A = this chain, B = another copy of it.
Amino acid sequence: MNSPLAIPSIDDVRAAARRLVGRAHRTPVLTSASLDAMAGAELHFKCENFQRAGAFKFRGATNAVLSLPDSVAGKGVVTHSSGNHAAALALAAKLRGIPAYVVMPSNAPGVKQQAVRAYGGQITLCEPTLEGRHSAAERLLAETGATLVHPYDDPAVIAGQGTVALELHEQVPGLDAVVVPVSGGGLISGIAVASAAVSPATGVFAAEPAQADDAARSLRSGRLEPLGPANTIADGLRASLSERTLAIMRQHVRDVITVSEAEIIRAMRLIWERLKVIAEPSAAVSLAAVFAGAERFGGRRVGVVLSGGNLDLVRLPWQ
């Protein structure tokens, strides 16, 4: 439908914000004097782990679902995802009363399949390969006439994620920087578009596991670099940028800060202990980047996006 590089504007983000009123949570911003002291900066944590379905993904999924005309929407939506986007899309579709078809790899954790089913999503299991995912999704699209809602390479999804920044800049005016985990780039692209419009002095920084550093390499080379094995505890950050999200990041993102697995686990534990909130490893990457980039953020007013809080509470990574 959209040309490959359609880029959402601030007006698209504002329209998304209007659609989300009464549907998505306006998530709170938390602070911690002890984390501020450790970072030597003033940190404002935007808690998207409190978002419906436990992650920012509900914003983009809902905006995409609500953007469909009735005639199209009735046939439902399709996605391929083993993570937070799948559950978010299932919930967004349920709230509009339309079917959601989700392609998941056959090795996806049972708990993630349960979340999708709990929201009424219909799961099609596929071979755990990129090829397997895509062919299963293509087949579903052909059979059902439903619309694909990509986890991040979709202007309506990106515009929805950008509403995080509209809220954050209202809640905390005058941020010097905002630090955002990056995977496929949907969240940071939306935040970058919105921040450039409403708070242009705020520097937007990406946070990425060193074990899945395709965004850092892509931004450096200026073209999409392949992801590699992505052997990171941050299971939500194992996707790679698209041409669209790379283009937005090249325009608006100051830098990508990469962090080690040990830094991620340490930051996650600090968030649990000091902020008293459950952040998944992918979300903790943002605080890890603040510590890793201390020389940049020292004395500054920094927004830290906690992207989600979905994880199995059976064993903690520091145990």
Contact = CB atoms under 8 A, between A and B. Distances in A.
A128 interface: no
A316 interface: yes
A57 to B, nearest CB: 14
A276 interface: yes
B309 A319 contact: no
Interface stretch (A48-56, A73-81, A296-304): A48-56
A42 to B, nearest CB: 15
B28 A52 contact: no
A269 B313 contact: yes
Contacts of A33: 52
A130 interface: no
Given A54-B276, A277-B278, 10 more contacts: A33-B52, A50-B275, A272-B278, A273-B313, A276-B278, A276-B279, A278-B278, A313-B318, A314-B319, A316-B316
Interface string A33-60: 1100000000000010110101000000
Interface of A: 25, 28, 30-31, 33-34, 47, 49-50, 52, 54, 118, 269, 272-273, 275-279, 309, 313-316, 318-319
Contacts of A30: 28, 50
A71 to B, nearest CB: 29
Contacts of A25: 31
A269 to B, nearest CB: 7
A275 B52 CA distance: 10
Contacts of A279: 276
Nearest to A31: B25
A30 B51 CA distance: 10
A28 B279 CA distance: 17
A175 to B, nearest CB: 19
A50 B276 contact: yes
